[in-house]
Amino acid sequence: MTEAWRPDGEDEQQRRGASGPVKVRVPAKVNLHLGVGPLRRDGYHELNTVYHAISIHDELTARRGDTLTLTMEGEGAGELALDDSNLVIRAAHALAGYAGVLPHARLHLRKQIPLAGGLAGGSADAAAALVACDALWGTGLSRDELAGIAADLGSDVPFLIHGGTALGTGRGEAVSPVLARPTSWHWVVAIADGGLSTPAAYRELDRLRAAGAATAPLGSTDGLLAALRQRDPRVLAAALGNDLQDAALAMRPSLTATLKAGEAAGALAGIVSGSGPTCVFLAVDDADAGRIAAELEAVRVCRQARVAHGPVAGARIV
Ligand code: ATP
């Protein structure tokens, strides 16, 4: 047993950590390029992706407590289990185990990122829990140490610690920032009714590829990275791509109408976000995005259409 696990370890932890609540905001992600390579021996696919953090946020508040508890409100409340299966609880345990402290906190999640929407909401919440509990417990880990713990929790979690726009390789957990001059891109995010399972989308892609029914793999991110550097939304629009889109459309054929409606409304391009069913559309500017969102809601091709911009910061204390 380490020293931190003795009763006086808790006293020391109380002195080191924050006394008041710690509130962390964390963004959703979209993949501007999601290249899916072959299935690896460990069951993951090799990915070649460009992550992009957008301004739809979940918020996690951490307070001192005698045990570890989680409550929530917003998207998915009443549907999402709040027990040890929740990524927030898993992240808190992982950090406590790594730092040798007691996993005691009262956590409250305000969720705006839809469940199983292809926007990495669960991964975002795990990233928020790592940053919030690190401050609450005074464990003082570096962003890189937190990203190391994050990688064991899920492939997208390290990116959501960093935010911005970044290249993801391996199974997506190896993240390196894309250094581009600051440009804000304007998005419309069409949120669907219900979610899609990410593992099921990868299985469907494998099935389509085996049957020769998938579009050719995207391959390298070079074209997308070059397009980002040009800072012209029309150029970026032409470079967006997602290898999982065929699978998402096969599993949810109504998304074809959503994509068509966005383009008819004047979006520069539309793609399925990650494993779907959320679709994202690139607009020229914020006003254009607002107009496209209103039109998507008017033609009822989604549950809700939201305007967002990116890139934004990763999990941050507010
Ligand atoms: P990704 O894009 O990373 O594949 P997603 O956006 O499609 O993810 P998430 O909302 O991250 O999907 O959730 C996927 C599954 O993770 C959910 O169906 C749920 O069972 C589980 N999960 C565990 N904890 C959470 C959480 N805090 N928020 C959302 N989902 C969670």
The 10s digit of each residue's pLDDT in 150-174 is 999 999 999 999 999 999 999 999 9
Q: How far is the CA of 312 from the centre of ligand 1 (A)?
A: 20
Average pLDDT over residues 219-246: 96
Identify the residue whose C-alpha is closest to ligand 1 atom 1.
Answer: 120
The 10s digit of each residue's pLDDT in 200-231 is 999 999 999 999 999 999 989 999 999 999 99
- What's phi and psi for 30, nearest 5 deg? -120, 160
* Three-class DSSP labels, 272-303: ECCCCCCEEEEECCHHHHHHHHHHHHHCCCCC
The 10s digit of each residue's pLDDT in 250-293 is 999 999 999 999 999 999 999 999 999 999 999 999 999 999 99
Return the higher-pLDDT residue of 129 and 4: 129
Average pLDDT over residues 72-80: 97
214: annotated binding-site residue? no
| Single-letter code of the amino acid located at 54 | I
The dotted CATH code for 10-178+313-317 is 3.30.230.10
Q: How far is the CA of 77 from the centre of ligand 1 (A)?
A: 13
Identify the residue whose C-alpha is closest to ligand 1 atom 23.
Answer: 86
* Of 72, 90, 198, 278, best ligand 1 pocket probe by most atoms within 8 Å of the beta carbon: 198
Name the residue among 203, 62, 91, 196 with its Cα closest to residue 151: 91
Domain range 185-308, its CATH number among 3.30.460.10, 3.50.50.60, 3.30.70.890, 3.10.180.10: 3.30.70.890
Q: Which of 58, 125, 134, 156 is catalytic?
A: 156
Q: Is 111 a catalytic residue?
A: no
pLDDT of residue 8 exceeding 80: no
| C-alpha to C-alpha distances, 68 to 60, 63, 230, nearest whole angstrom | 14, 10, 47
Q: How far is the CA of 112 from the centre of ligand 1 (A)?
A: 13
Taking the domains of the chain in order of start, what are their residue ranges? 10-178+313-317, 185-308
Strand 105-111 and strand 68-74: pairing? Answer: parallel
Identify the residue whose C-alpha is closest to ligand 1 atom 18.
Answer: 116
Average pLDDT over residues 42-51: 95
- What's the predicted TM-score (pTM) here? 0.94
